[in-house]
Structures are given as structure tokens and as C-alpha cells.
Amino acid sequence: MKVNLEVSKADSFRAFYLFFVVHTLQIGAGLMGVPRILFLEAESDAWISILVGGLYLHFIAWIMIKILREYENADILGIQTDLFGKVFGYILGCAFVVYIFLILLTVIKNYIEVVQVFIFPEIPIWLMALFLISLMVYAILGGLRVVVGTCFLFFFLTVWLVFTIYKPITYMDIGHFLPVFEASPTEILSGARQMTYSVLGMEVLLFVYPFVDNKKHVQLPVHLAVATTTFLVLLVTVVSIGYFSPYQLKETVWATLSLFKIISFSMIERFDFIAVSLWMMVVLPNVILFSWILQQSLHRLFRINKKKSLYGIGILIFFSSILLEYRLDINRLTDITAKVGFYLVFIYPVFVYLALLIRKGWRKGRSL
């Protein structure tokens, strides 16, 4: 495996789109349930956890870009083999592949479950999976240009949902936030850790970086994306804490979606139906981009034909999502994925960076 990639002009995209790529990947199934998870950890001080978590996200984004800038045009798979040797590089690469596969599966499963709970109790799982996977295959067949395009387009098709939150805001009770600083530092930190779970997806940067056209301007869009994500999570959590009573929030699994329930227009009585259906457009870029990463990694690691691996991924995801049936299973899977993701995405890059620094110093010492 070559460390650096050769990218054709047709496949590359402007750094500007990184904002949408990173942001849409962070926002996905996770945002639907984040308020409750954070509330369980840090109670009314959950917003502090988010700020702490957001800061850490920025730190990791900074580290990732630092790592990638050490190389000319490499992704994490190439960097790993270069740093840790072929064997460990492949093992770590496989770890990434397994992790991405798991996260893809959880995203799909979680969304299907939401649809079943909110709109269609009897819609078959295989049908929903087929919907998502067929769109995924269709988009990826168009190449990276279309993949990035879906992130971009679907961001604008769904971002307006944020503005409907004004209604719950008017019903907020500030008293729910008092007293401030109740939670202990450990609770806040574990809240921050929980927050990072639900915004997994920054790792995409490690894979798409070689395809960015103007690499000089990578910092700004990535940090803006992370900031926007943090802001959205903060907004949703704060409004949920203010809107729901503490007891209610602990019982509401998808608090974000439940917020939509009181929104109504003169033509539309129950907005949550539309919001949940439209959430498919939030989930789709996730599905598409993660599968693209899978396809790309398999191609990089094992030289598997891209089209074949894409169909393979589609079939595999389809059957695994049918077989995984119970809520408890999905929950366990989500937890496991989140833990793996936490170490792989939020801890591991720091080590890679340290290793890079050590190697640099060692080489410098030797050359003296």
C-alpha cells in the first residue's frame, strides 16, 4: 500500500465542502437522543459538559490536521503503515474498517427504530434498510463528487429544521437549570465523553483529506463544522432541559424529535411526522459517506474492486440490519461502537501525533 494517494482532478473537492462533510457526518442519528444521555450524566449542568466536549473536539480536529499535514497526500491508513509498519498498519486499518461498519449499522438501525416508534410501527425493517441502502449505492456509484454533493445538498434541505425550535424555546423554564455547578467534575467529564459519542464522524477527515483540493484552507471549515455541531448539540440539549421536566427528560429517549411534537402550522398540525421523515435526509449523508469510507479503505487495504466491495457492503449491511432485531441489541451495539469510536477517534490520533513527533525527533537526532 502506498502511503500517499494519487487523486485525479475529477475526484477532488474544495476545502469549503469539508464543513458540510464533517458537520453532516457528526450530526446524524446521535443528535436525536443526545439530550437525555447528557442529562443522565450531568443533570442540569449538561451544557457545561457540551462546552468541555466541544473544546476537546476542536483539539482533536487540530491534532488530526497536524498529523495529515506531516504527509504530502496521505490518509490515516497510509500513515499507520508508514508509522507502525505493515503488520500493525493493516491491523489498525482493519480496526477502522470494523468500526466504520459498526457505526454504519448503528446509524441505520437507530433511524429505522425511530421511524417505527414515531410514524410506522409496522413498517418492515428490510424495507427501510432497502430504501437507505439503495440510495447509498446509487449515490456512491456517482463517485466522491456525488457523495460530497449529497452532504452539501442535504445539509441545506434539512438545516431549516433548526429554526422550528423557536416554539419550544418559548415554553422553556429557566428554573430547570438552577442551581448551576451542581454536578461534580467527574460527572461533567463523563457527560463530555458521552457527548463525543454522539458526534462521532470527525474521523472522516482522516480519510477524505487526500481528496481536498486546496489543503492550505482546511483548518477553517473543519473547525467551523465542529463549532456548528457543538452549537447544535448545545442548543438542542439546553432547550430540552428547559422544556421537559427532569423526570420527563429521563424517560424521553429521543428528546430532540419529541421537541418537534408541539410545533404546528396552520396547514400542518403535527410537525414531528414531517421532521422524522425528513430526518432520513440527515441520516443519508452519514450512510453514504461511511460506506464510501468503507469502500475506499477496503480498496486501499486489500485492493478490492470498488464496485464489488460497494455491492458487498450493501448486502452485508442489509442482512445484518435484518438480523439485529431487538432494542436491547441495538443499544448494546451502539454502546460498543461508541466505546470503540471514542478510543479510535478521540484518543488514538493523539498517540499517532506523539509517535510522529518522536520519530521526527529521532531522525533529527540521528542525522546530527
Partner 1 sequence: MDTQVPLTKEEYIKEMKKQFNDSPDLICKEFQFRNQTLVIHFVNYQVKKDLLERDLLGTLTSAKRAWSVEDLQNKIPLASSTVERSLANISPALIHGSVSVYIEGESQVVLFALPNLERRALNRAETESLVFGPQISFTESLVTNMNVIRWRLDTDDLVVEKLIVGERIKSEVRLVYLKSLANEENVQTMRQRISDLKVDEVEDTSVLGQMIEDSSSTVFPQLITTELPDRFCNSISKGRVGVLVDKSPTTLIGPMSFFNFFESTEDLYMRWNMGTFIRFLRLFAMFLSIVLTPFYVAALTYHYEIIPSSLLISLGQSRATVPFPPVIEALLLEMLIEFLREAGARLPTKVGQTMGIVGGIVLGQAAVKAGFTSNILIIIIALSALASFTAPSYLMGSAIRIIRFPIIILAGAWGLIGIVFALSFLAIHLLKQHSLGRPYLAPLYPFEWKDFNDTIFRTTFQKNDRRPNYIMTKDRYRFDKQKSNKKNDVKRI
Residue 274 binding partner 1, by CB under 8 A: yes
How many contiguous H segments (helices) and E segments (strands) does the chain have?
16, 0
User: Whole-number minimum distance, CB 272 to partner 1, in Å?
Assistant: 9
Residue 139 binding partner 1, by CB under 8 A: yes
Segment near partner 1 (CB under 8 A), from 29-37, 55-63, 143-151, 204-212? Answer: 143-151
Residue 360 binding partner 1, by CB under 8 A: no
User: Whole-number minimum distance, CB 111 to partner 1, in Å?
Assistant: 11
Residue tagged 487526500 (cell numbers): 210
Residue among 112 and 195 whose Cβ is closer to partner 1: 112
Residue 220 binding partner 1, by CB under 8 A: no
Residue 200 binding partner 1, by CB under 8 A: no
Residue among 120 and 177 whose Cβ is closer to partner 1: 120
302's CB contacts (< 8 A; 6+ apart) are none
Residue 281 binding partner 1, by CB under 8 A: yes
Distance (Å) of CA 150 to CA 17, 171, 274, 319: 11, 35, 20, 25
Segment near partner 1 (CB under 8 A), from 66-74, 146-154, 326-334, 339-347? Answer: 146-154
6's CB contacts (< 8 A; 6+ apart) are 73
Residue 282 binding partner 1, by CB under 8 A: no
Residue among 220 and 354 whose Cβ is closer to partner 1: 220
DSSP-based three-state secondary structure for 74: strand
User: Whole-number minimum distance, CB 13 to partner 1, in Å?
Assistant: 8
Residue among 145 and 359 whose Cβ is closer to partner 1: 145
Instruction: Kindly tell me which residue out of 115, 144, 195, 294 binds partner 1, with binding defined by CB under 8 A.
Output: 115
282's CB contacts (< 8 A; 6+ apart) are 24, 27, 28, 31, 154, 158
DSSP-based three-state secondary structure for 4: strand
Phi, psi of 6 (to 5 degrees): -105, 120
Which of 350, 365, 352, 367 is CA-nearest to residue 82?
A: 352
Instruction: Kindly tell me which residue out of 55, 127, 169, 354 binds partner 1, with binding defined by CB under 8 A.
Output: 127
- Residue 63 amino acid letter: I
Distance (Å) of CA 40 to CA 184, 228, 285, 317, 320: 13, 24, 29, 31, 30
Q: Residues in the site for partner 1, rule: CB under 8 A?
A: 14, 16-17, 115, 119-120, 123, 127-128, 131, 135, 138-139, 142, 145-146, 149-150, 152-154, 157, 264, 266-270, 273-274, 277-278, 280-281, 284
